[in-house]
Each structure stands twice: as C-alpha cells, then as structure tokens.
Amino acid sequence: MAKKYYWMKLREDFFDDDAIEWLEEKPKGKEYSLFYLKLCLKSLKTNGILIRSVGNILVPYDVKKLAEITKTDFDTAVVAMNLFKTIGLVEVLESGEICLPRMEEMIGSETDKAAIMRRIREQKKLASGNSVTEMLPECSTCETGNNVTTELPESYQNVTQRLDIRDRDKEIDKTSFVDPLVQPVKKSKSETMVGDFEYQCVDMLISSCLSSFPNAKVPSTDQERMKWAVEIERMKRIDKRSEQEIIEALTFATTDSFWKCNIRSTKKFREKFETLIVRARTRTNQPQGSRQPQNRFNNFHQRDYDFDAYERQLLGAEQPKSIGNGQEED
C-alpha cells in the first residue's frame, strides 16, 4: 500500500481573518491561536475531527488530553475551547467528538508515488520549459477533494533516486575542477629547484648501490629519481651544505667498504652527512705512513727456516749446525 503524506494549507491572510484577529485581541490571544493551529495539525489525518485510536476503537479527545499533547496550560486550553466554540472554530458533535469545520479546506495529502510523478513533471518542465504531461506514461489516477492518489507504473519505482543523483551532480561546482591537461599540478619548491647537480648525485649513489648488490632497490622511474634528488636539494637549501661538501661526503660513502653497504638512499645520506664528512676528512688528513694495512696477516714478518734440518733433528739423523736465519743452535 502506498504511503500517504499530509500537510496543512495555510492561507497567507490566515491571521487577517476576522475570527483570528478577534481571538488574538483577547488576553493570551497569541497562545489561543497557537493552540488552535496545534489542534489543526493534530486532526490532519482524521479530516478535522479530534479523535484517537485506542485498541480497536476510536476515542474522542477531551480538553485535558488536548492540553497535554499540545503542551498547553490546562486553564488556557479550557478558555480557548470556549472561545473557539463561540466564533465557530470548533464544534462538538452529538457523539462527543470535537470537530474543526475549517479543516476541510486546509488539508492537503498525497501518496508517495503521486509525489514522484509530480517531481518528474516539475523536473522535465524545468529542463524543457514546456508542459510534459503528455510525455509521461499513462497512470490510473483518482482524485477525491484535495487527496491525490496517483499510481505510478512499476518501471518508475526508482525514478526519485535517479533524479536525486542527477540533481546532486548538477550542484557540483565546476569551477573547482582542475583539468591536468589545462592546469598542471603545482610542483613543490624543492621539485622546481632540482637541477643537474642533484641528479648527478642520485646517479652516483644508484651506481654504488647496484655495484654492491645488482638487485638493490633503487629508483626506476623519473618520479622516484625526483624524490631522491629532492633530498639533495634540501641539503643545499635547508641544511646549507655546499656542493663541494656534498660531493666529498658522497664520494667517501660510495667508496668506503663499510658506508657503501649502509648508505642506500639520499635520505639516509642526508641523515648521516656530518658523520660521513668527518670520516672522509679524517681519512684524507691521515699521514700515509701511519695508516694501518687493512689486512694485517699480509704484514706478518716472513722468516726463513730450514725445514729439512728440523726434520733430520727430530728423527735424530744428525745434529744441525744452525736453524733459521743462519744462527747457530746453542
């Protein structure tokens, strides 16, 4: 069953009506008119009759209950109801039900499917500027007073959702759209200042990484090489390193056996720069003769022994006259 919606149609001269003006002239007149409007809203679904459903029966509202549900002072509600009866805004039927005679012309209702049909007409009318009633599929309609019960074809069940999506898409601010072909993405300050020197350092470090490990993870695209180059540019601009210092430290990092295995990116190179430059200069300033050979085993003094003489001595064949370096045995 189609869901039904109700609303109250209030004329723009409602408060200019003689009955309402007379009502608001009374003490607490504003409260009386507000109470009347609340009663009208409460009777929308029951065609202007103030009744409620209790189980399987309909029970009329009394003044006490009306004051309670409208959050109105009870004494104010009693006085207001007497005034409403006096000027004809309220009538009490023989069955005890309270009726609002003017509600017949103030009630508006519509089913959800009829609301969809109305929106379709409005949307198409706005789009074409012409009436499009004849463009819509035929529907079975039934009008009773102000109640519209238009039935929508099955194929139009989801039309509201489609219309909402289209309307939402139209509300997108087209001026905020950035076409990358028309307006390129703005580069960072570091990226715009990267030059040949930075890429030279990147290539130098990449070569060092690959020489020690051919499958090393190094930049393979222009964007990745740019990220490495940005670190070199920041060393110059932010860290205030000169190109000569950078080359000096990088040369040491790519030739020293220990640091060559540890400096695997320009970010790491930037972090360890001070240590690298100090080590590089320490190695450069060290006297040539004071350097210790890397392989001390090769520096072991080679002695000249007559192993044949030792063998004869051990076997007791003869007593050798001398051993090692031609020295006589004691």
Domain ranges of the chain: 4-105, 110-171, 189-286
Q: What is the pLDDT of residue 159?
A: 46
| Global confidence as pTM | 0.35
Out of 38-47, 132-141, 253-262, the most confident range is 253-262
In this predicted structure, the answer to whether residue 67 has a pLDDT above a threshold of 80 is: yes
Q: What is the pLDDT of residue 139?
A: 46
List the single range of 127-141, 189-203, 297-311 with lowest mean pLDDT.
127-141
Place of tokens 């040491």: 252
Q: What is the pLDDT of residue 268?
A: 92
Contacts of 316 (CB under 8 A, 6+ apart): none
pLDDT-derived band of residue 101, with 50, 70 and 90 as boundaries?
A: confident
Please check whether residue 139 is in contact with residue 150, taking contact to mean a CB–CB distance below 8 angstroms: yes
CATH of domain 4-105: 1.10.10
User: In one letter, which amino acid is 118?
Assistant: R
Q: What is the pLDDT of residue 168?
A: 58
Helices (H), the chain: 18-24, 29-42, 63-69, 74-87, 112-128, 159-170, 189-193, 196-212, 222-237, 243-255, 266-271, 273-285, 307-315
Q: State pLDDT tens for residues 116-159.
A: 666 666 776 776 655 444 444 444 444 444 444 444 444 444 54
Average pLDDT over residues 192-208: 90
- Average pLDDT taken over every residue of the chain: 75
Rg (Cα) of the chain, in Å, rounded? Answer: 50
List the single range of 124-133, 215-224, 281-290 with lowest mean pLDDT.
124-133
Q: What is the pLDDT of residue 116?
A: 63
